[in-house]
């Protein structure tokens, strides 16, 4: 369904499409866009998790006590979907152990602790001209530079560039930033537009894409203008497209739909329909990785919410969040912190957990900003959730099945097409934590599928073992039988066909026996006994 046509560069018209549902929560973005991005001061210590991307954790390759340089590899990618981790500054590794991280479980994970020496001494690094390299080489460089998606999912970028034979028509840069409070991409686009468009060109080169579309919600006119200017300055033909502001317009699938009218088929990837999508901040890190030879060591983090001064900071990965929050000064009634936005963010288990590659925003929470929800009432099937669901699901049915743990039915009602955007929970008049039920059901189903796999594997191994034992038994029995048979055969042989010599011996034996019998009968003792 076409919804609007927008003017691009005062001449080209582009048709925009619509996705179902969506909501308009208060954006609360203006508070943190008043001042420019500031560089956060070097923290007293850095805690760098070895697993801050989707996929397998990186393997630590440094030891406690090692002195490392800024940009030095400390975590080696381990596995197909994995990414490198680097020392964000120079200093000494003081621990490699389990530390609390920003994770909904509140469980610790392996981290390297680095005490900075304050010298910011770089490891030797050099820029490359991406045009001199093949896409595969560049992918490997990105993997070793630790470049992952900075929109929040932290998916290794090299995997997304590994497209095989698929033809990519559109490369989409996601600058929608639809979640309330978050402005890190907005500020990055305003201030570093030139780097972003060059990063986009590098991504386009690797994908061999025919067009580059940069989708930005129309509540960011400064960012739109900055990017258009940067594109014009370089004479590129990337298109900046202002899209309607609606949550979750920044979700990759929804953004692709709005810009191209295509729906990523359920369970498939955007590349299957000739589209690939990267966050604008990811494009920026790609630029840094190639044009400056710098791995991903820092990112822009919005500090917002219940703070005196909301602002964006360029913070080193591993910076303890409390040191970052201190820059904005949390107000006294702050009672918690959220990483990410208020729609999809996670509550921090402790405020000292480190900034990771996925940390786009930290919100100081208070009861004033985020009043605790009233007790949930039963679902009255009012279908307000259906009206806002961007995946065209029936949230009230999914809730019903998840609540009663009917996982099979939940899957039949397309539970896994849910993107957990939270729009349904936002509008629910019964204040049911709907997304929480979907998360529970999804993780339970995944765990069960995993258990099922293990059970199948165990069954196979058990059956193999039974089979092996059976075979061994059979072999043993066969062997025994063969032996016995041989023995018997020998005996039979000897009985049935006595040789003349044997016959003579037998006759002798018989005669001897007859003699004994005689003696026995006569009662005379045998002389030989």
Partner 1 sequence: MLSALLVMAAIAIVLGAVLGFAAIKFRTEGNPLVDKIDAILPQTQCGQCSYPGCKPYATAIAAGEADINRCPPGGEEGIQKLADLLGVEFKPFGGDTAAPKAKSVAFIDEAICIGCTLCIQACPVDAIAGAAKQMHTIIAAECTGCELCVAPCPVDCISMLVIEEKITNWKWKYPVYSLTTKK
Partner 2 sequence: MLFSPFISKPDNVSQIMLKVLLALLPGIALYVWYFGPAILVSITLASLTALGTEALMLRLRNRPIAPFLKDNSALLTGWLLALSIPPLAPWWLIVVGTAFAIAVAKHLYGGLGNNLFNPAMVGYAVLIISFPMQMTHWIAPHGLGQIELGFFDQLEYIFLGVLPHNATLDAITMATPLDTLKTHLHLDQSVQQILDMPIYGQLAGHGSEMVAWGFLCGGLYLLATRIISWHIPVAYLGTLFVIAGIFHLLDPGHYVAPLFHWFSGAAMLGAFFILTDPVSSPTTNKGRLIFAAGAGLITYLIRAFGGFPDGTAFATLLMNICVPLIVLYTQPKVFGKKSPKDNPVHKEGRP
- Contact between 274 and partner 2 (CB under 8 A)? no
Piece of 16-24, 168-176, 441-449, 489-497 that binds partner 1 (CB under 8 A): 441-449
Pick the piece of the chain touching partner 2 (CB under 8 A) from 44-52, 90-98, 184-192, 364-372: 364-372
> CA of 381: how far to CAs of 384, 397, 441, in Å?
8, 9, 20
- Look at residue 349 and give the partner it binds from partner 2, partner 1, none, a contact being a CB closer than 5 to 8 Å depending on partner kind: none
Per CB under 8 A, does 417 bind partner 2?
yes
User: What part of residues 65-104 is at the interface with partner 2 (CB under 8 A)?
Assistant: 104
Contacting range for partner 1; rule: CB under 8 A; set: 308-316, 430-438, 482-490, 503-511 = 430-438
d(CA 337, CA 316): 19
456 binds partner 1 (CB under 8 A): yes
Torsion on CA atoms 457, 460, 465, 467, rounded to nearest 10 = 180
**Pair of tokens at residue 447:** 């765990």
The one among 133, 162, 336, 444 contacting partner 2 by CB under 8 A: 336
Residue 312 or residue 396: which is nearer to partner 1 going by CB? 396
Query: Which partner in partner 2, partner 1, none is near 178 (CB below 5 to 8 A by kind)?
Result: none
CA dist 424 → 26, 343, 376, 439 (Å): 16, 10, 14, 13
Does 108 participate in binding partner 2 (rule CB under 8 A)?
A: no
SS (H, E, C) 408-453: HHHHHCCHHHCCCCCHHHHHCCCCCCHHHHHHHHHHHHHHHHHHHH
Question: Using CB distances below 5 to 8 A depending on partner kind, what does residue 447 bind out of partner 2, partner 1, none?
Answer: partner 1
Task: Write out the two tokens for 443.
Answer: 């993780």
For 269, the 3-state DSSP assignment is coil
Of 223, 231, 428, 441, the one binding partner 2 (CB under 8 A) is 428
- Which window, 103-111, 305-313, 386-394, 521-529, contacts partner 1 (CB under 8 A)? 103-111
The tokens describing 255, both together, are: 């953004």
Least Cα distance to 398 among 388, 379, 411, 387 occurs for 411
Angle (CA) 42 48 51, round 5°: 150
CB of 23 to partner 2, least distance (A): 8
Stretch that binds partner 2, among 29-37, 47-55, 146-154, 345-353 (CB under 8 A): 345-353
Residue 284 binds partner 2, judged by CB under 8 A: no
Which of 403, 409, 416, 519 touches partner 1 (CB under 8 A)? 403
Encode 338-402 in three state secondary structure: EECCCCCCEECCCCCCECCCCCCEEEEECCCCCCCCCCCCCCCCCCHHHHHCCCCCCHHHHHHHH
Q: With binding defined as CB under 8 A, does residue 462 bind partner 1?
A: yes
Q: Does 107 bind partner 1 (CB under 8 A)?
A: yes
Minimal distance, residue 431 CB to partner 2, in Å: 6
Interaction partner, residue 290 (partner 2, partner 1, none; CB < 5-8 Å by kind) = none
Q: How does DSSP classify residue 527?
A: T
Q: Determine the size of the site formed for partner 1 (CB under 8 A).
A: 35
443 binds, among partner 2, partner 1, none (CB under 5 to 8 A by kind): partner 1
List CB contacts of 429: < 8 A, sequence separation 6 or more.
380, 382, 384
Q: From residue 195 to residue 234, what is the string marking binding to partner 2 with x (rule CB under 8 A)? A: ----------------------------------------
Total Cβ atoms within 10 A of residue 333: 12
CA 342, distance to chain mean position in Å, is 21
Q: Which does 507 bind (CB under 5 to 8 A by kind): partner 1, partner 2, none?
A: none
Question: Are 248 and 419 a contacting pair, CB within 8 Å?
Answer: yes
Which CB sits closer to partner 1, 56 or 314?
56
- Angle of helix 280-291 relative to helix 184-191, nearest 10 degrees? 50
Cβ closest to partner 2, residue 79 vs residue 261: 261
User: Residue 100: how many CB atoms within 10 A of its CB?
Assistant: 18
User: Which residues face 312 on adjacent strands?
Assistant: 302
Instruction: List the interface residues with partner 2, window 254-273 (CB under 8 A).
Output: 257, 263-268
Interface residues with partner 2 (CB under 8 A)?
Answer: 19-20, 23, 25-26, 104, 180, 253, 257, 263-268, 335-336, 338, 340-347, 365, 370, 372-375, 377-384, 386, 390-394, 396-397, 409, 411-414, 417, 422, 425-431, 433, 435-436, 439
Interface residues with partner 1 (CB under 8 A)?
Answer: 51, 103-105, 107-109, 375-378, 403, 432-433, 436-437, 439-440, 442-444, 447, 451, 454-459, 461-466
């Amino acid at each position: 369904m076409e919804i609007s046509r927008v003017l691009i560069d005062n001449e080209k018209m582009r048709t925009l499409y619509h996705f179902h549902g969506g909501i308009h929560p208060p954006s609360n973005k203006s508070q943190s866009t008043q001042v420019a991005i500031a560089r956060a001061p070097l923290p007293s210590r850095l805690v760098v998790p070895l697993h801050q991307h989707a996929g397998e954790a990186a393997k630590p390759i440094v030891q406690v006590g090692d002195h490392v340089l800024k940009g030095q590899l400390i975590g080696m990618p381990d596995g197909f979907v994995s990414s490198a981790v680097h020392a964000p500054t120079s200093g000494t590794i003081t621990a490699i152990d389990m530390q609390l991280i920003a994770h909904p479980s509140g469980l610790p994970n392996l981290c390297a602790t680095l005490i900075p020496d304050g010298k910011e001494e770089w490891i030797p690094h050099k820029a490359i001209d991406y045009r001199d390299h093949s896409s595969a080489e560049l992918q490997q460089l990105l993997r070793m530079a630790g470049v992952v998606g900075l929109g929040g999912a932290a998916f290794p970028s090299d995997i997304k560039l590994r497209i095989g034979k698929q033809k990519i028509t559109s490369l989409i840069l996601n600058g929608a930033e639809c979640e309330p409070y978050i402005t890190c991409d907005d500020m990055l686009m305003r201030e570093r537009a030139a780097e972003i468009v060059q990063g986009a060109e590098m991504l386009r080169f690797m994908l061999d894409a025919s067009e580059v579309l940069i989708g930005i919600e129309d509540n960011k006119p400064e960012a739109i203008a900055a990017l258009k200017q940067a594109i014009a300055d370089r004479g590129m033909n990337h298109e900046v497209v202002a899209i309607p502001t609606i949550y979750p317009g920044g979700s990759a699938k929804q953004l692709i739909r709005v810009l191209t009218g295509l729906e990523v088929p359920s369970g498939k990837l955007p590349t299957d329909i000739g589209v690939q999508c990267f966050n604008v901040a990811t494009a920026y890190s790609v630029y840094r990785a190639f044009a400056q030879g710098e791995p991903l060591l820092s990112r822009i983090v919005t500090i917002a919410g219940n703070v005196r001064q909301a602002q964006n900071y360029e913070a080193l990965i591993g910076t303890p969040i409390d040191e970052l929050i201190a820059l904005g000064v949390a107000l006294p009634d702050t009672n918690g912190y959220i990483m990410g936005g208020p729609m999809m963010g996670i509550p921090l288990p402790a405020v000292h957990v480190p900034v990771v590659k996925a940390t786009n925003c930290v919100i100081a929470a208070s009861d004033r900003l985020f009043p605790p929800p009233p007790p949930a009432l039963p679902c009255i099937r009012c279908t307000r959730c259906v009206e806002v669901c961007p995946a065209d699901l029936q949230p009230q049915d999914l809730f019903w099945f998840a609540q009663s743990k009917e996982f099979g039915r939940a899957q039949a009602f397309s539970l896994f097409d849910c993107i957990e955007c939270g729009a349904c929970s936002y509008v629910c008049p019964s204040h049911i934590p709907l997304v929480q039920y979907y998360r529970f059901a999804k993780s339970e189903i995944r765990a069960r599928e995993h258990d099922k796999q293990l059970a199948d594997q165990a069954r196979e191994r058990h059956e193999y073992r039974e089979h092996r034992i059976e075979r061994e038994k059979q072999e043993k029995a066969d062997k025994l039988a063969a032996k016995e048979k041989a023995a018997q055969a020998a005996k039979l042989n000897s009985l049935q066909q006595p040789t003349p010599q044997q016959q003579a011996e037998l006759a002798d034996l018989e005669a001897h026996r007859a003699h004994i019998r005689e003696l026995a009968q006569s009662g005379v003792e045998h002389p030989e006994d």
